Amino acid sequence: KRGEEIMAAILGVLAKAFAFMGIIVLGYTLKKIHVFKPEDFYVLSKIVIRITLPCAIISNFSKISMDMSMLILCVIGIVCNLIYVGIGYGINQKRSGDAKAFDMLNLSGYNIGNFTMPFIQNFLGPVGFAATSLFDAGNSVMCTGLTFALASAAKGEGGRSSAGSMVKTLLSSLPFDCYMIMTVVAMFQIKLPEMVLSFASTAGGANAFLALFMIGIGFEIHADKEKLTEIVKILSIRYSIALAFSLIFYFLAPFSLEVRQTLAIVAFGPVSSVSPAFTGKLNGDVELSSAINSLQIMISVVLLTLALIVVL
């Protein structure tokens, strides 16, 4: 019976992952038949960054309680992102600011809420859910604002590299502001008005669809040797580091088995689905970013399933 339950859960997760891919394919197809135009990507990215993502943050964060003893997981989420960001900057020392910014945005971040969380919910229960939520709190501090600010500084346009302008860029990120506010709300157990939560839940519920649909509209990869080389480079680095993180979390982290299992699985999640939106905001290669994002979703389906089989 246990085997049947595990198989049913895996099939459920795979069904959800294929649904994600279906939304991306839908966006790409509607672009190809001219229902949407490539420039519509930027309209959707504004909706995601300024409306649905902040609402999703408010809605999801209001459902978890902050266990102060587990806040170290928030720090781990930040550190994992910083390592990727540092690598993205370091491997482009002799290249342009555009190259640095692109790799910093597209190597780092985790798509937790829309992708990894269903895996955790099906297999690891409340402890796994709480651990993933706290890791995502730190992760989201990075991928909703701080990574963008660092990438803006690395790009170095118009004096953006100054500390003051970097802080200004960070604070101008509405998703980042929402995370900071909701962290305070959770720590002090402040109850938000039901009307606010209802609105946030409704608007936030559209975030996964719009973020994935946006990736489909942005997706376009030509048989360009330089772009294919960039894709292989980023995917190789991303999953090599993910494997190292997973092994460290599972064998060396000073947590309970369930938390270690959770972190070992979370490590293989794909890059944040809003990375293409932030790439577009910095006038980066949206098509390449969308291609990398789409491929990571497919790869992570396989790796997360394998990780579940190994650690459980």
User: 139 and 80 in contact (C-beta within 8 Å)?
Assistant: yes
* Structure tokens given for 113: 């809420």
Q: Which of 50, 52, 60, 46 is nearest to 203 (CA)?
A: 52
Per residue in 20-56, pLDDT tens? 788 889 999 999 999 999 889 889 988 988 898 888 8
| Type of residue found at 12 | G
**∠ Cα 160 162 168 (to 5°):** 70
* Structure tokens given for 115: 């992708």
User: 61 and 182 in contact (C-beta within 8 Å)?
Assistant: yes
Residue 179, pLDDT score? 76
Residue 66, pLDDT score? 65
User: 53 and 207 in contact (C-beta within 8 Å)?
Assistant: yes
Instruction: Please state the rounded mean pLDDT for residues 253-261.
Output: 91
User: 183 and 170 in contact (C-beta within 8 Å)?
Assistant: no
pTM of the full structure: 0.79
Residue 128, pLDDT score? 80
Per residue in 228-240, pLDDT tens? 899 999 999 999 9
Averaged pLDDT of the chain: 84
Three-state secondary-structure class, residue 5:
helix
Residue 310, pLDDT score? 81
Alpha-carbon dihedral of residues 17, 18, 23, 25, nearest 10 degrees? 130
Is the pLDDT assigned to residue 93 strictly greater than 50? yes
Is the pLDDT assigned to residue 159 strictly greater than 60? no
User: 293 and 270 in contact (C-beta within 8 Å)?
Assistant: yes
Instruction: Please state the rounded mean pLDDT for residues 250-256.
Output: 92
Residue 110, pLDDT score? 94
Q: Among all chains, which residue has been given the structure tokens 């780092």?
A: 108
Cβ neighbours around 267 below 10 Å, total? 25
